[in-house]
Chains A and B, each alone.
Chain A
């Protein structure tokens, strides 16, 4: 079953038709591939990159010396042999995407491990450029790489760059151009040689494939290796792309291919040729299968079972990489990683690891919440002024009052409200978070927290997506792409909303400071309100783990998958780039979705507040209807109604509550916490109401933007509905529970 459907179709673009060459960009994760991609393509790209990982193929364009190039950034992987989704995408593109040239980016500071991928790709194509990145980091660590020697050994062009320095990329462009122009030339590049018996087996298959299917020697050799390797998913792809039938029991499918082939030839319409053609193909197929069987048998007689064969392949590859690296790398300072290890020892220590993590996050939230106030106020006043002008204009053109009210007080006000309250915090939070990401700290968070998530049968990487959820649940959901296992990814998506986002923090703080701190006053008050907010958040984290565990035991059964996570070297963040990318990729993107929902929602809210039956607005009628359920939860009908109508953005829940209480017809903006407190108390709020509102703020359905994102990421209405139900049911149950306890204690 395919749980997750992802949007990785490479979209068409006008420039694409003009692009003369296609260049693939491959490499291990964390080697600065995306930096190169961004620097080469600028803003000419389709998909943004999320959380340090390119999961879909991102496509961009650049021009060099009058030629247009298409650059395809394929997912970062260590290998293109194993099963993970990214590796499959990467491999399929290199094998079957027909790029003119593949640039493999490697990290100069750990060349040896990176070479493994280079050698794997060198088995598929001759048109490779090796791009050795992070030379500046290597220099700092006193590692030198002899690029010339490397080029001689591998017999491919090697370019050294420092991706963050744009100038160094010129050489890469020059070499790329040359390689594209000479792509048709025959080359003999470095090739991994396996032990004799394996080589012999590969060669036999290679020759057969060349002869019978007229496949080029290089590709034939690679297919030969893969046939012996017996990796199902690769063989399937080979069958599909090259119309070779390899597997035993798949006659039906291949017949289909033949039929298709025949159809395309019907114009010639000589039935006999078709028949002959078909027979020949079937014959070829059979001989290939027979040969395959025989070779595998021969190997087994020599003691090389499929398992041993696989191991030998990988081992030979790694050993080759090791040898090459030894020849070209010089480590002047053996303890080059010392500084990093020292930092790591502190950041992941038993005593300080988790407190430091919490501290980092608290600092980020604090800066976000405090810092966002000023631009928010500014936006409010600007939009407010425009609103007045709009009303004047409407009066001037004699627009009917109901229409101008509906459009201005309904649509316009809600829309600008959402922008004013959402844009500043996101524009602050995401750059800060991206800096943590750039520093290389996020994998450490996953490392620190993995133990807890493992107990919930999940991945430690879920912690990273949860942290992103604190900024914006919608971004957190998209960030779940970093989790490899589809099951664990889905769990992370479904539970992301259990931690409050930026939009909910101010509301939590307001309520806490009115009702919890307000009861005692003084310095103790602010401490108490902070503590209560933190407690609610911790409850959210605990619930995330509990629900994840429950999901793992029920509808998403499974064991935790293997957790192998690289902790990359710390790097200096590129501040400017961080700012630009996080604003364009995340903030604007999310805001766009929010706006798409806010405008119609504004209209609906206005209509419900203004249309009434017998003097009662629809809003009141709904509130009265919800009142019994709300009372059980220790809330009132208006509060629940506000949560429902606040679905476009959590930020407008409080304004709707105030609007209802004040019998207003448009959202109410109130700065004075004291005044808000007065109104709430007059409407029967107690400490219990406050606690339950805080709990329900954390545990209720995701906002519309997040729901849209979940729908997009999972491609399934069912999972979107479940993501809606899980936190809502949690919230209802928890609120009922606290209400019950409260009444028992009080009476």
Chain B
């Protein structure tokens, strides 16, 4: 199967993070927010313009743009 990222998650669908890839700054940023392997993540809100989406994980709600979300792979 092709690569899955949190962008492929439907709204309210829970995903489990497998890996964070990408350029160092953004990678670090996502990791720092607690997006490490095994983290449960769920998109819950979508901006009126379709992007970004807001994801619920580790008890917080974080808006992430599509380009950045592409770096968060899920199992």
Contact = CB atoms under 8 A, between A and B. Distances in A.
B34 A567 contact: no
Contacts, number: 132
Contacts of A307: 24
Contact of A451 (B28, B49, B62): B49
A289 interface: no
A116 B39 CA distance: 14
Interface in B22-40: 24-34, 36-37
Residue of B24, B28, B67 with highest tally of chain A CB at under 10 A: B28
A478 B62 CA distance: 25
A451 B48 contact: yes
Nearest to B56: A337
Contact of A318 (B24, B27, B28, B34): B34
A178 B28 CA distance: 36
Nearest to A348: B45
Contact of A112 (B24, B27, B34): B34
A496 interface: no
A235 to B, nearest CB: 15
A734 interface: no
B58 to A, nearest CB: 5
B69 to A, nearest CB: 10
Nearest to B62: A566
B13 interface: no
Interface string A315-331: 10011011000000000
Contacts of B33: 78, 113, 564
A450 B60 contact: no
A200 interface: no
Given A78-B32, A78-B33, A113-B34, A563 B45 contact: no
Contact of A447 (B24, B30, B45): B45
Interface residues of A, number: 49
A134 B4 CA distance: 37
A79 interface: yes
Contacts of A622: none
B43 to A, nearest CB: 12
A562 B58 contact: no
Nearest to A111: B59
Nearest to A347: B45
Interface string A333-358: 00001001100110011100110000
A557 interface: no
Given A113-B33, A116-B32, A564 B45 contact: no
B65 interface: yes
Contact of A348 (B25, B31, B48): B48
Contacts of B61: 337, 340, 344, 566-569
B31 A450 contact: no
A30 to B, nearest CB: 10
Residue of A111, A344, A452, A454 with highest tally of chain B CB at under 10 A: A454
Contacts of A322: 34, 58
Given A82-B32, A318-B34, 4 more contacts: A111-B59, A113-B34, A560-B67, A562-B26
Interface of A: 78-79, 81-83, 109-113, 116, 307, 310-311, 314-315, 318-319, 321-322, 337, 340-341, 344-345, 348-350, 353-354, 443, 446-452, 454, 460, 560, 562-569
Identify the 3 closest CB pairs spanning chains A and B, nearest first: A451-B49, A79-B32, A110-B59
6 contacts: A311-B31, A337-B59, A340-B61, A348-B48, A448-B49, A451-B52
